[in-house]
Structure 1
Amino acid sequence: MTALSACIDLGALDLAQWISSFVAKENIPKTLCLCNALVDALAKCGDVDGAMEVFDQMFERNIISWMSVIDGLAMHNRGMEAVRMFETMKASGIKQDVVAFIGVLKACSHGCLVSDGGHYFASLTTEFGFEPRIEHYGCMVDLFSRAGMVEEAMEFVRAMPIKPNPVVWRTLIAACRIHDNLQLGENVTKRLIKEEPLYGSNYVLLSNLRSKQEMGEEVGNQIHNGPTRNAKSYGI
């Protein structure tokens, strides 16, 4: 299992697959811990189908088994499959915990499943009585951001009952840059700089936003002034 942990750290898919084959070939007893480690390593290294195969052959499963598969599917943009797996886990009688919802919210985020994500976030409290953690709020901000709903992400942050952490702010800033909401991104970055004035990456974020804004303005000017310049270049 130590070797499998090393595979995850190194992203060594070939080695993870070799260990899985070796376990099967040598008829090594497939304990719950070993199978969980195999599923986790294969999924995180990129062989989600191989992880699913090990999972399907397990005689015993716990919440770690299920979440390893769900996280693996989510990581590799198979959000709908991850959500279906989460529902199957619920139906199997596995007791949910607050961490399990981080996995399904990540799946919804990677799959841009906004409605499903909202449902699971609400059910965290209404159905299971858990208090959302900052990680759950962060997943929702990421979900809105990936779906291009930057304003909704900002409103969600403003309504949070707990203070957003830098990860939440950086997720929002990245979304602003990707979806060209540059003014909002700059405002959020300035706020983040006030909270973390010594964190150099924040200044890089601000610089990147301003560079993109200046580039957009330059392109806009070229489009606006292009015909005139072209005419002059041809002596017209």
Structure 2
Amino acid sequence: MKRLKLSLLALVAVISATAFAINSTAIHADTVAAIQKQHKSGYLNAEGQWLWFENGQRYTGFRHYMGTYYWFINGVRQDSGWRRAWGMTYYTDAEGRAVQGVQQINGKVYDFGNNGTFFSRGIVKDAYVNVPGVGWRWVNNGQMFSGFRHYMGTYYWFENGVRADNGWHFAWGFAYYTGKDGRALQGEQTIDGQTLNFGDDNTFYLRYFDGGSANPGDDPRRFMQPVTDLQFDYDENGHPIPGTAYWDN
């Protein structure tokens, strides 16, 4: 009798396990026909493929899922591409997620905001931004910038977006020097054992004794005497505008 009871219990356990397995399969792997018949909605496993359904129909468009938005076409998640919805432009990454913040896409840098709206604000116009996977870069019209940019009260020199420290730079017909923190120097500075004058009026250029223009082949260290009669145009804040220098004859 005891052996019979054990056999019956084992049989019940096998039947229960089989029923649970069948039920689990039905829940997690419906057929498309079953989903359509039951008018189900959501991200469902249908015949071995994850698809988005709305009222039993394969869905096309954006759907919010696990904290972000995904784009679907005929129920299939779409990765790495531009999307249009609600009159705005979006981009989904390699995992299908709508991106936000600063992003570099096909060589151009875009701004998608940081407030959970995800739509593109267009290319980054002219700013020092942290590009994911790249680092801090100066971007101009969506491209890595080379040249001087005014930032936080002084000028910095950038090469392909990267701040250039400790070096000579030529711009607007003049020579400049950026220090170890990337800032353009002014006043009297000792560089490679030579005392040089970069002025003290926020123009930052190396003073030339003969008023000649700088060329990339010049050695700036040989120009050591100040120029006293060079004038500048000024912006609305009263700051001299580099590149607008002229002689006051």
TM exceeds 0.5?
no
More strand by share: 2
More helix by share: 1
Taking structure 1 as the reference length, what is the TM-score of the superposition? Answer: 0.24
